[in-house]
Amino acid sequence: MKLLRRIYYWLRPGQRRLVRRWFFLPADLFDLLLNRQTPLVPPKGRIFTGQGDFVETGNTFLKNFIDTCILQPHHHILDVGCGIGRVARPLAGFMDHRGRYEGFDIVQEGIDWCKKHYMDYPNFSFRYLPLQNDLYNLNSNVQADAFRFPYPDQDFDLVILTSVFTHMQAEEVKNYLGEIARVLKPGGHCFATFFLITQVSESYLDQSTDPFFPYRYDDFFLHDDHVKNANIAYRYPFIKKMIEQSSLSVKELYEGWWAGKGREACMNFQDVLIMSR
């Protein structure tokens, strides 16, 4: 497993996506021949965001947004790192004509797919923004640590980041938190997933023979020392201070099952922070 992981991360981002496409090609062809394609669900080989069932995961996220962020059908939503529509799909059936969805991502093929398949949803918009990231996009020199979201101040009721901060360096996280605070309406919420190092999760890593984060630094741990954005875990006090400096506040922390907790007691594999402005 370690060897396969090493080989995978030594590939360039586009090569990794190509490997996945070839791996799932038989299943995708079988679904096509049997006409088993589902609207707004991409072929398995096209999906590059997270593991698990695409539809089930999206549906669960929608329930989480409603339960924790008081999401309403008329709200305006920003999906940072929208990928290939895992969150957009359930929202398309939830939002009414007053609602608005904006999504952006640094992987162009995901945005291209969404633009094509959401043409019947005029209140849904997708943007490709070419930012550099050694896991997803090496074809750009634009850095995320100085990037300004292309949206006005106080424009959204909810900002969503699923598996985004888990692939970003500290200065990039700091900049994004500031941008989230800027574009959120007063009283708005942010739903974001992290890998957070707490006493419990660090103890779990200490006891593991093959820890998910073997490379340790002062405020963060890395999953891979070659592709540093592969997965990044931050010490919770470090992130919490950064959040507060960005004029946001932590409303709730839901620990994930990545660090040994029972799955039935957790909201997500990753840790979830609910922030408010």
Per-residue pLDDT of the chain (277 residues; tens, 9 = 90+): 566 666 666 677 778 788 788 888 888 787 788 877 889 999 988 888 877 899 999 999 999 999 999 999 999 999 999 999 999 999 999 999 999 999 999 999 999 999 999 999 999 999 999 998 887 877 888 899 999 999 999 999 999 999 999 999 999 999 999 999 999 999 999 999 999 999 999 999 999 998 999 999 999 999 988 888 889 999 999 999 999 999 999 999 999 999 999 999 999 999 999 999 9
Helix (H) or strand (E) holding 140: none
Residue 174: domain span: 2-276
Q: Among 232, 255, 253, which Cα is nearest to 243's? A: 253
Place of tokens 């929608």: 62
- The CATH number of the domain holding residue 138 is 3.40.50.150
Count of CA atoms in the C-beta half-sphere (13 A) of 125: 11
The number of domains in the chain is: 1
Cα–Cα distance, 263 to 274 (Å, whole number) = 19
Count of CA atoms in the C-beta half-sphere (13 A) of 186: 0
The string of DSSP letters for 63-113 reads: HHHHHHH---TT-EEEEET-TTTTTHHHHHTT--TT-EEEEEES-HHHHHH
Q: How far apart are the first and last CA of the chain?
A: 42
- pLDDT the model gives residue 50: 73
Place of tokens 């984060």: 213
Cα–Cα distance, 132 to 41 (Å, whole number) = 27
